[in-house]
Amino acid sequence: MVRCRIKFLLWIFSVTVGVGMFIFLLLDNQTKILPTNLFSVLNWVNQESSLSANWPSETDKILAKLETEEPDWQEITEAEVFHNETYKPRFFVYSAYVDFYENRDVIRLIAVTPTFAKEEFFAHLFDDNLNPLDTYICTISSTRGYEQGEKYSAGFFLCRQRQSSGPYARGNFLPAVRHVSVTPFPDAPSLDRDGHRLFSNLLRLSQPIGTDVEEPHKFAVCVPPAYDNFDNVVLFLEWLEFYKMMGVGHFTFYNVSTDPSISCVMNSASFNAETPATILKWTFPIPSRINSQLAQESDCAFRYRGVAKHIIGVDYDEFFVPNYTLARNYAELINALDTAWASEPRDGSLASYQFQSAFFDPDFSHFPASKVETLPRVKLDQLELDDMVLYRYVTRAEALFPYETR
């Protein structure tokens, strides 16, 4: 019994010595010394509390992520409340803009929804610090176009202020709104006790630029999501320099499958110093043969509102070449077109110009010259498809899509 007590006391002694040595080493490696009286203890506790108070909160982390991370598609997972055994719709949002629609301010969200969706959603508005401001009611507006026949299509959430919507019902507070979240519920989502987000999507709201401010860019180019892995750096630089010579001042690339070599050029310091450009993620969530180009075109139009006077939508292999007899660049071309438009007895304002395209192979060296030389001479009224040189070198691997379908 005595022997057991001695062993127990030796064990306590060794533990005490070990803890003491640990504290000594800890203090030896710290710049500050533990307080020795009650007042210094209180001061030390207050100092530690102030240091912890300066640590970034979960809200700060969310805001920092919104400011630094590129936008991309976000799913409204709360829409699972609409699911049943046979119908499981999914809803996605990409960007949010303040717009003026039907004589009132609205918030327009670029979205992808089921083609004939009629579900009701709510847009919850937040300020800089994610404090809730108000809730708008949203309706879905689909833009089917050449996505006709698809299960999902591009569209908008058009969100309007309710008649008696909180303390801001009579005031113009939209300039204070910085972030938007869309859910099927009228109650605003918030952060839990730990500051974690309780909503699935959060978008930065783009505020419009005043109409009295001149656009900083005369022309801008939007490149839709590439259909394949475009990897020719030389052709990309040729394409880029051509549009810069034509007067384009800014580029926006919707990146879905760009080759790493092209991405490296886009992200290089020299490229960004000479070519103002924005590179956006486009991880389209729904299978689509055209990566929902309609949604991209809508986002491009609202993104450049107040930033560029004219927007050009082209692919990497497309060159928009003015007729040299009319114009040497896009500014001269627009002046010529506007002059021609003004001379026509038409009503309404001009929204866009559309040009017929043609396909050319930039390298004709592999075309047999003898075949071209032996073509029969035909009259214009007798010209048929077999008489067209280009047609002979085009092979259609699949059947044509029906009318109004691409």
pLDDT tens digits, one per residue of 135-144: 999 999 877 6
Same domain, 293 and 395: yes
The number of folded domains in the chain is 2
Same domain, 359 and 271: yes
Ordered DSSP codes for 200-264: S--EEEEPPPPTTSPPSEEEEEEEPPPSS----HHHHHHHHHHHHHTT--EEEEEESS--HHHHH
Q: Of the given ranges (7-21, 114-128, 171-185, 281-295), which has the lowest mean pLDDT?
A: 7-21
Average pLDDT, the chain: 75
Q: Of 206, 230, 261, which one is at a domain's C-terminal end?
A: 206
Give dist(CA 328, CA 322) in Å, integer. 7
Q: Parallel, antiparallel, or unpaired for β 92-101 and 74-75?
A: antiparallel
Q: For position 75, what pLDDT does the model report?
A: 93
Same domain, 175 and 69: yes
* pLDDT, average across residues 233-237: 89
Is the pLDDT higher at 272 or at 11?
A: 272
Same domain, 202 and 255: no
Using 50, 70 and 90 to split pLDDT, how confident is the model at 399?
low
Same domain, 234 and 333: yes
Same domain, 104 and 233: no
Structure tokens at 169: 């019902």
* pLDDT, average across residues 170-193: 76
Same domain, 132 and 237: no
Same domain, 88 and 228: no
Q: For position 345, what pLDDT does the model report?
A: 80
Q: For position 404, what pLDDT does the model report?
A: 53
Q: Of the given ranges (91-95, 163-167, 271-275), which has the lowest mean pLDDT?
A: 163-167
User: 1 lies in a domain?
Assistant: no
User: 55 lies in a domain?
Assistant: no
In the three-class reduction of DSSP (H, G, I as helix; E, B as strand; rest coil), residue 2 is classed as helix
User: 330 lies in a domain?
Assistant: yes
User: 19 lies in a domain?
Assistant: no
Q: Which residues pair with 152 in a beta bridge?
A: 114
Q: For position 84, what pLDDT does the model report?
A: 86
Q: What is the pTM of this model?
A: 0.70
H/E element holding 94?
A: strand 92-101
Using 50, 70 and 90 to split pLDDT, how confident is the model at 15?
low
Q: For position 383, what pLDDT does the model report?
A: 46
Q: Is 307 exposed, middle or buried (0-12, 13-18, 19+ CB in 10 A)?
A: middle
Structure tokens at 195: 């500051």
Report whether pLDDT(237) > 80.
yes
* pLDDT, average across residues 330-353: 85
End-to-end CA distance of the chain: 94
Same domain, 114 and 228: no
Q: For position 172, what pLDDT does the model report?
A: 62
Q: For position 375, what pLDDT does the model report?
A: 46
H/E element holding 156?
A: strand 152-161
Q: What is the pLDDT of residues 34-54, one digit of tens each?
A: 444 434 433 544 554 444 444
Q: For position 176, what pLDDT does the model report?
A: 84
Using 50, 70 and 90 to split pLDDT, how confident is the model at 366?
low
Q: For position 3, what pLDDT does the model report?
A: 52
The DSSP output letter for 380 is G
User: 380 lies in a domain?
Assistant: yes
Using 50, 70 and 90 to split pLDDT, how confident is the model at 372?
very low
Same domain, 262 and 373: yes
User: 9 lies in a domain?
Assistant: no
User: 216 lies in a domain?
Assistant: no
Residue in this structure with the two tokens 């960007």, named with its chain if needed: 95
Report whether pLDDT(337) > 70.
yes
| Per-residue buried b or exposed e for 112-134, using 16+ beta carbons within 10 Å of the residue's own CB | bbbeebebebbbbbbeeebebbb
User: 11 lies in a domain?
Assistant: no
Same domain, 122 and 233: no
The DSSP output letter for 22 is H
Give dist(CA 283, CA 255) in Å, integer. 8
Of the chain, the percentage scoring pLDDT greater than 90 comes to: 25
Using 50, 70 and 90 to split pLDDT, how confident is the model at 359?
confident
Q: What is the pLDDT of residues 253-302, one digit of tens each?
A: 998 777 888 888 888 877 778 888 898 989 888 877 666 788 999 999 99
Q: For position 137, what pLDDT does the model report?
A: 94
Range of the domain at 289: 222-406
Residue in this structure with the two tokens 């691997």, named with its chain if needed: 397
Of 165, 334, 187, 170, whose CA–CA distance to 248 is shortest? 334
Report whether pLDDT(122) > 70.
yes
Same domain, 114 and 262: no
Report whether pLDDT(60) > 70.
no
